[in-house]
A and B are shown apart, each in its own frame.
Chain A
Amino acid sequence: MKKPTLVKQVIFYVILVVIWQLIAMSSVWPNNLFPSPYEVAEDLVYTASDGSLFLGIGTSILRLLIGLTIAIVGGMLLGILMARVETVNQTIGSLVLGLQSIPSVAWVPLAILWFGITDAGIIFVTALSSMFAITISTYTGVKTINPHYIEAARNMGAKGTQLAAYVLIPAAFPHLISGFKQGWAFAWRGVIGAELLFSFLGLGFLLNVGRQLNDISQVFAIMLVIMMIGIVIDGIIFKRIENKVMSRWGLR
């Protein structure tokens, strides 16, 4: 990141916290509805010191990783099949579009009935919330591959899984990355949403506990943590991969 950008961002957040503090002090809203930044920080320190925060983060991230891995593997497989086999596209393809439009929390009742209040249920919701976005971007990615890449590869003897592993996936990678990014965002919404409704460990659970205890600073604190994890994964991890891929593939 360029220095001036970083400076601007630091200044922005400092101002934001100051305004937040001022609003909290002005008692426009009662303190039990609008905590001050200090109270939120205090809550963070407290939940961090008794370990419950880290347990929550760890649980949510683990569920995210398992769910997202399932979604990536399944989504890519389905996407490649749809792009390469016309019949699959004409049949399953239309279903995928429908499934993709189901909001992630709408999977929760089904997950609870099928899996009960278990990790598997939450992972199920996570995987299904993100899988079809990944399927669609894989499909688009494979469909828009320069046909000469595929022809050259076939000409040199690549076929079947070899063709998929050494040509289709790498050639579609710039598209796949944006699919993974979308998939991760859906998965993250899925995890938190499911945890809220399952009320079974994780950050979503902590959020729900905050509500039940009327502990507004905990609600604020956990939301802050959810957002920060998002910034780290999106802005740092994905940004890096994306930059590398774009320059390597000669797209920048």
Chain B
Amino acid sequence: MTKLEAKNIVKYFKHESHRLKALGGVNLQIEDGEFVCLVGPSGCGKSTFLRIVAGLETPDEGEIFFDGKPVTTTGPERIIVFQEGALFPWLKVQDNVEFGLKMAGIPKDERAQISKRYLDMMQLTKFADSYTYQLSTGMKQRVAIARALVMDPDVLLMDEPFAALDAQTRDLLLVEMQLIWEKTKKTILFVTHNVTEATVLGTKVAVFSNRPSTIKKVINIDYKRPRLVEDQNLFPLQQEILSELRPEVKKS
């Protein structure tokens, strides 16, 4: 079943007086439960595309369809995880995780029950009463993922969530992310500039061209999990993606 469909998405960046065509007609179809990684040269608008899917920005042309209905605004069925997590520093970890539930008017006891499950899943139980400034970058990202999962969204939108992490923490989270995906069966859209990350995580990797961007190629990855970063068998795929990406990066 098609969960998300992007039809001819065009978006201009406004730069003072002139307009820059960032997205030049992006078409993408994502089935329910797929893990799709978006890679592309920096500045190609892949993050903007994600924000359009989240409903945080509107496209200048084209439409996003969610379960066949056009997306007009942001909503809890499409939850975004930002690169720096965007956790609220005035709230404890548990209150951060429960934020969306509170907004939905769910009573405190019930919120605590739900958040406990995800705090456990992300190994954050010990830190439930901590403030975010007391956490490492990796821990913060775990909280951000827990906060998103608590909303039980149909689609998880991740905007380079591991870009600021050190290599060890990232490798660990790459494995955990696969387990979470297998456990929760979420549809995931994951923006990254890291080709290895994309091949480890994705069931599909969509390669963006340079501006004005379109999707140049979609590569399917059918390989056993959990995949590890050092797995040699993923090398040919990574080479294939890089060979698509390289000319685009040069153009940018």
Interface set of A (CB-CB < 8 Å, partner B): 146, 148-149, 151-158, 162, 166-167, 170-171, 173, 247-250
Which residues of B are found within 8 Å of A170, using beta-carbon distances?
88, 90-91
A157 pairs with B104, CB closer than 8 A: yes
- Shortest distance between the CB of A76 and any CB in chain B (Å): 16
Q: Flag whether B215 is at the interface (Cβ < 8 A).
A: no
B103 pairs with A157, CB closer than 8 A: yes
Which of A155, A158, A248, A249: most chain B CB closer than 10 A? A155
Which residues of B are found within 8 Å of A166, using beta-carbon distances?
99, 102-103
Which residues of B are found within 8 Å of A250, using beta-carbon distances?
89, 131-133
B90 pairs with A157, CB closer than 8 A: no
Which of A146, A151, A162: most chain B CB closer than 10 A? A151
The complex places the Cα of A152 from the Cα of B79 at a distance, in Å, of: 8
Which residues of A are found within 8 Å of B80, using beta-carbon distances?
151-152, 155
Closest 5 CB pairs of A and B: A250-B133, A156-B100, A148-B86, A170-B90, A157-B103
> Is the interface on chain B under 10, 10 to 19, 20 to 34, or 35 or more residues?
20 to 34
Q: Flag whether B74 is at the interface (Cβ < 8 A).
A: yes
Q: Flag whether B56 is at the interface (Cβ < 8 A).
A: yes
Closest chain A residue, CB of each to CB of B84: A148
B131 pairs with A156, CB closer than 8 A: no
The complex places the Cα of A151 from the Cα of B55 at a distance, in Å, of: 10
Known contacts A250-B89, A250-B132; is-contact A155 B54 (Cβ 8 Å): yes
B 88-142 contacts with A by CB, 8 A: 88-91, 99-100, 102-104, 131-133
Q: Flag whether B82 is at the interface (Cβ < 8 A).
A: yes
Which residues of B are found within 8 Å of A156, using beta-carbon distances?
76, 79, 99-100, 103, 147, 151
B76 pairs with A155, CB closer than 8 A: yes
Which residues of B are found within 8 Å of A158, using beta-carbon distances?
99, 103
- Shortest distance between the CB of B251 and any CB in chain A (Å): 30
The 8 Å CB contact of B89, one of A152, A153, A248, is A248
- Shortest distance between the CB of A60 and any CB in chain B (Å): 33
Q: A146-B86, A155-B75, A170-B90 are in contact. List 11 more A-B contacts (CB 8 A).
A: A148-B84, A149-B88, A151-B86, A154-B56, A154-B74, A155-B79, A158-B103, A166-B99, A247-B133, A248-B131, A250-B133
